[in-house]
Copies of this chain bind each other. A is one copy, B any other.
Amino acid sequence: MTEDEARRSIGARRNPKSAEAILEAAESVLMEEGHRGFSIEAVARRARAGKPTIYRWWPSKAALLLDVYQRQKRDVVYPDTGSVEEDIVRFLKRLLSHWRDTPSGSIFRSIIAEAQSDEKAAEALAGYARDRRVQTGGMIARAQRRGEVGSEVDPLVVADLISAYAWSHLLTGRLDETDEAVRAAARVMLCGIVKTGSQSSAETLP
């Protein structure tokens, strides 16, 4: 590390805006070079930051990519309509169209792909997915507080199914699902499929 780099590195630690500058640089590199041309080196050059600065905050290329991805995804907010069905349907529709209509879909696909052969990327993705399940589970927890969803339900299990549905649509190029198709999937989770009175549902339904 040169003195200049060291100075910037210490500056970065002290200046919270540096993280934002690095994320902006990372976003530009990604847009211009694509994810194949994306590297910590290229981001460091663009941000005029030292590689150690970047590595201190992001342990891997995948971790940095995930933060850029999340930054682009901040417009995909969790709906809060007062109906858990509307919340789930709107959330899924927004997410699928965001992936389809912005570079986000292709970025996230490449992160998932990289995580299948790179241990650090796998860790970053698993941590990200865990965090998203907590966020998505918030929609279910709110519905529980309203009394719409039973207290025996684990919001994280429902969130896991919701995310899984979205991921599998992204990974198999099915981002064009109709409103009806998304709603049909949501209704399986909301209403179940077993007829009232049949054995399996006897414990939870009257």
Name the one of B122, B149, B193, B200 contacting A158, with C-beta atoms under 8 angstroms.
B193
Interface 9-mer from A4-12, A14-22, A55-63, A105-113: A105-113
* A184/B157 in contact, CB under 8 A: yes
| A191 nearest CB across to chain B (Å) | 4
Name the one of B185, B187, B192, B204 contacting A160, with C-beta atoms under 8 angstroms.
B185
In the bound complex, residues from chain B placing their C-beta under 8 Å from that of A163 are 168
* A189/B190 in contact, CB under 8 A: no
* B196/A205 in contact, CB under 8 A: yes
Q: Taking each of A150, A164, A165, which has the highest tally of chain B beta carbons within 10 Å of its own beta carbon? A: A164
* A126/B191 in contact, CB under 8 A: no
A191–B150 Cα distance when bound, in Å, is 11
In the bound complex, residues from chain B placing their C-beta under 8 Å from that of A169 are 164
Residues of A161-196 at the interface with B, using a CB-CB cut-off of 8 Å, are 161, 163-165, 167-169, 171-174, 181, 184-185, 187-196
User: Mostly helix, strand, loop or mixed at chain A's interface?
Assistant: helix
With both beta carbons as reference points, the residue of chain B lying nearest to A165 in the complex is identified as: B164
* B200/A84 in contact, CB under 8 A: yes
16 A-B pairs with CB atoms under 8 Å apart are: A83-B200, A84-B194, A84-B200, A85-B200, A125-B172, A126-B173, A147-B195, A150-B193, A154-B184, A157-B184, A160-B168, A161-B164, A161-B185, A167-B171, A189-B193, A190-B201
